[in-house]
């Protein structure tokens, strides 16, 4: 029997690009009849005509299936929904805005056939991205790499092909605050990179702004390392030692040397400095506490409003 490849596409307000995306993917899938394809759209609570267009496309092409989430849950969660519902022996995660060239899927499949479980696309350049975005992302990766023990792939997005065993593994990870890029690394398995140059968005706007990116960065750090907690302990220790030494200096100065008590400026700067450090440490603890709080609620990670699949396809039981 032919192997099934699921092409999984999280979409959020992509009415401008989705038809063009489909026709590019359709071209790619038509190049071979060695595989069956399923094109699974995860509609992440779009408020434009995205879902209507998907439904229309589905009328003419029954390889298309879709999940309609009850609201916008964010790409990370949309991808989990996609993992849960995809049926393929391998799943390709791809963005709808054609920043990830669908033509690369072939190279991915051929590596997969050679026995790789996670074939990820690595960007060789980032067209149309600002200097600020590039340098902040670089700094973030450097920080993450220094503080975690698992190897994190730099310059790779979510565009990749995953074997069924990776998908089953990812489905077991039900964290609601997800940093999927890190999870891919956490999984391990046999990885292979393919290089590509990332195009500009076809139309529409990126859904990421700096606040969202900053939050994702915090997500990445707090879900993969407890290093910040350690850092605040170290900082505390260091400052305590400093304070202890300074205390002796003051005692000797006043008791032995008989200098008069110096006043307001030094006192104020110590108070402000310590206050700042304390708040920072509290904030760090708070980040982790917040995560614990959110995970202990054990809410379902996402809710599905509607699911329409391709009934002819074989369903993989959860292994």
Q: Which residues bind ligand UDP (CB under 6 A)?
A: 10-12, 14, 44, 72, 74-75, 78, 95-97, 99, 201, 206-208
Assign 69 to helix, strand or coil: strand
The tokens for 246 are 């300074």
Rounded to 10 degrees, the C-alpha dihedral 1/165/78/31 comes to -40
Name the binder of 72 from Mg ion, ligand UDP, none, CB < 5-8 A by kind: ligand UDP
Whichever of 26 and 156 has its CB closer to ligand UDP, that residue is: 156
Applying CB under 5 A, does 89 fall inside the site for Mg ion? no
Q: Minimum CB separation from ligand UDP for residue 7, in Å?
A: 12
Q: Are the beta carbons of 18 and 52 closer than 8 angstroms? A: no
How are beta strands 90-93 and 35-43 bridged, if at all? Answer: unpaired
Assign 312 to helix, strand or coil: coil
Applying CB under 5 A, does 99 fall inside the site for Mg ion? yes
Name the binder of 11 from ligand UDP, Mg ion, none, CB < 5-8 A by kind: ligand UDP
Q: Are the beta carbons of 64 and 58 closer than 8 angstroms? A: yes
Q: Are the beta carbons of 45 and 72 closer than 8 angstroms? A: yes
How many Å separate Cα 55 from the centre of its chain? 28
Name the binder of 10 from Mg ion, ligand UDP, none, CB < 5-8 A by kind: ligand UDP
How buried is residue 311: exposed, middle or buried, by Cβ count under 10 Å (0-12/13-18/19+)? exposed
Q: Minimum CB separation from Mg ion for residue 207, in Å?
A: 8
Site string for Mg ion, 45-84 (x = CB under 5 A): ----------------------------------------
Name the binder of 12 from Mg ion, ligand UDP, none, CB < 5-8 A by kind: ligand UDP
Q: Minimum CB separation from ligand UDP for residue 305, in Å?
A: 15
N-term to C-term CA, the chain: 20
Q: Minimum CB separation from ligand UDP for residue 208, in Å?
A: 5
Q: Minimum CB separation from Mg ion for residue 206, in Å?
A: 5
Q: Tell me, what DSSP letter sits at residue 31? A: T
Q: Minimum CB separation from ligand UDP for residue 31, in Å?
A: 23
Evaluated on CA atoms 282, 175, 41, 307, the torsion sign reads negative
Name the binder of 23 from Mg ion, ligand UDP, none, CB < 5-8 A by kind: none
**Segment interacting with Mg ion (CB under 5 A) among 82-90, 99-107, 141-149, 240-248:** 99-107
Non-local CB neighbours of 286 within 8 Å, separated by 6+ positions:
none
Whichever of 75 and 164 has its CB closer to Mg ion, that residue is: 75
Q: Minimum CB separation from ligand UDP for residue 86, in Å?
A: 15
Among candidate residues 291, 131, 96, 300, the one with its CA nearest the CA of residue 207: 96
Residues that bind Mg ion (CB under 5 A): 95, 97, 99
């Amino acid at each position: 029997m032919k192997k099934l490849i699921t092409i999984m596409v999280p979409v959020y307000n992509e009415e401008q690009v989705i038809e063009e995306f489909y026709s590019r993917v359709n071209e790619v899938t038509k190049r071979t009849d060695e595989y069956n394809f399923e094109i699974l759209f995860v509609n992440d609570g779009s408020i434009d005509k995205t879902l209507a267009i998907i439904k229309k496309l589905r009328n003419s092409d029954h390889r298309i299936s879709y999940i309609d989430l009850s609201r916008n849950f964010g790409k990370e969660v949309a991808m989990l929904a996609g993992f849960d519902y995809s049926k393929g022996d391998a799943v390709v995660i791809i963005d709808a805005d054609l920043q990830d060239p669908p033509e690369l899927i072939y190279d991915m499949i051929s590596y997969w056939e050679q026995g790789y479980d996670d074939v990820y696309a690595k960007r060789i350049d980032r067209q149309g991205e600002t200097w600020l975005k590039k340098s902040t992302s670089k700094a973030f990766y450097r920080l993450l790499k220094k503080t975690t023990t698992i190897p994190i792939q730099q310059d790779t997005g979510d565009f990749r092909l995953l074997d069924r065993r990776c998908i089953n593994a990812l489905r077991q990870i039900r964290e609601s605050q997800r940093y999927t890029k890190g999870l891919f690394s956490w999984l391990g398995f046999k990885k292979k990179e393919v290089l590509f140059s990332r195009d500009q968005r076809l139309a529409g706007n990126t859904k990421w702004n700096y606040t969202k990116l900053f939050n994702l960065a915090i997500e990445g750090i707090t879900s993969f390392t407890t290093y910040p907690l350690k850092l605040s302990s170290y900082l505390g220790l260091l400052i305590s030692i400093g304070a202890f030494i300074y205390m002796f200096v003051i005692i000797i100065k006043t008791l032995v040397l008989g200098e008069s008590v110096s006043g307001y400026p030094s006192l104020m700067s110590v108070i402000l400095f310590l206050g700042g450090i304390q708040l920072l440490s509290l904030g760090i603890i708070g980040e982790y506490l917040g995560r614990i709080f959110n995970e202990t609620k054990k809410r379902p990670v996402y809710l599905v409003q509607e699911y329409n699949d391709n009934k002819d396809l074989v369903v993989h039981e959860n292994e």
